[in-house]
Structure 1
Amino acid sequence: MTWLIDSFSGIGPIKFGMTPEDVATHIGAPDRSRQGLRLDTLSEHRGTKAPIVRYRENRVSEIEAFYDIGVVAFRGISVFGTNGSKVLRALEELNGGAAISVGIILFDRLGLTVGRLDEGPPTGHSITAFASATWNGKTDDFTSISFNDR
């Protein structure tokens, strides 16, 4: 399956605002679920069959895809099928900048975060789409970064 990311909407058939039951209808039941640190959060895992789905107040708020899920695309960019540095440069250009904190790269206008796609083994490479307002008030520790010189 090709997982197409649509900013602030979702990934593939998984849309922000869906309930766990809605998600299960579209991509099947999770292999496992885990309660988050906050009482109103939950994450569902389906191995390499589908992205990790995170809920806040029983509604999809984040969707994270790892390198081994298959084809993940955003605006014509194959996220894991393209050189990581090129992906980061393209996302930075589309977003009008990038910010980083503790290895998380934020593309706030695109509704995306990524790990360092240009570093380390691909086992840690991921991209997360998030619902609007997810990062509001939580970016004080982020600093600007540019991938244009890499």
Structure 2
Amino acid sequence: MEWETVSFEGMGPIRFGMSPEEVAGIVGPPDRSRRGLRPGTFNEFRGTEAPIVRYNENRVREIEAFYDLESVTFQGIDLFHTNGIEVLRRLEELNGDARLSVGIILFDKLGLTAGRLDEGPRTGHSVTAFSSGTWDGKMGDFESISFK
């Protein structure tokens, strides 16, 4: 399956705002699920077959892909098979800047965060697409960073 990420819309066939039943109808039932830290939140896991889907009030809010999910792209960039620093440079250029906090690199205008793309080995690399409003009011701890 192709996992093209579209800013503030979704990843592959999974779209923000979908219910768990809609997601299961597209990518199958989860292998397991886990309650989130905040009330009304939970996560669904499907191994390496699909990304982790995070819900808030039974609606998709975030979609996280790890290095072992095939065909994860953003605007033609293969996020896990292109050099990590090059991916971060290109995302920074598209976003206009990049912000860092506790290992998370935020591209707020693109609706993406990246984890560990600048580190080796690839086993920790991840990208999360998020819905509009997810990071509103939460950027105070982030510092500017550049990969140029």
- Tell me the TM-score normalized by structure 2: 0.99
Unaligned runs of 5+ in 1: none
Counterpart in the other structure of 2:58: 58
Following the alignment from structure 1 to structure 2, what is the Cα–Cα distance between the partners of residues 35 and 118?
30
Determine the C-alpha separation between the residues in 1 that align with 2:46 and 2:36: 17
Query: Shift of residue 28 of structure 1?
Result: 0.2
- Specify the code of the residue in structure 2 equivalent to 1:125: H
3-state DSSP of counterpart to 1:68: coil
For these two proteins, the number of residue pairs brought into alignment is 148
* AA in 2 matched with 1:87: V
How far is the alpha carbon of 1:8 from its aligned partner?
0.2
Displacement after TM superposition at 1:6 (Å): 0.4
Q: Secondary structure at 2:117's aligned position in 1?
A: coil
Match of 1:105 in 2: 105
Give per-residue Cα distances to partners, 1:84-118, cap 9 Å, x unaligned: 01000000000000000000000000000001201
Could you say which residue in structure 1 is the equivalent of 2:25? 25
- Distance in 2, matches of 1:100 and 1:120, equals 18
Counterpart for residue 36 of structure 2: 36
Identity of aligned residues (%): 68
SS at match of 1:34: strand
| Worse-matched range after superposition: 113-122 or 22-31 | 113-122
Give unpaired runs (5+ residues) of structure 2.
Answer: none
TM-score, reference length from structure 1 = 0.97
Q: Write the letter of the residue equivalent to 2:46.
A: R
Q: CA RMSD in A?
A: 0.6
Which residue of structure 1 aligns with residue 67 of structure 2?
Answer: 67
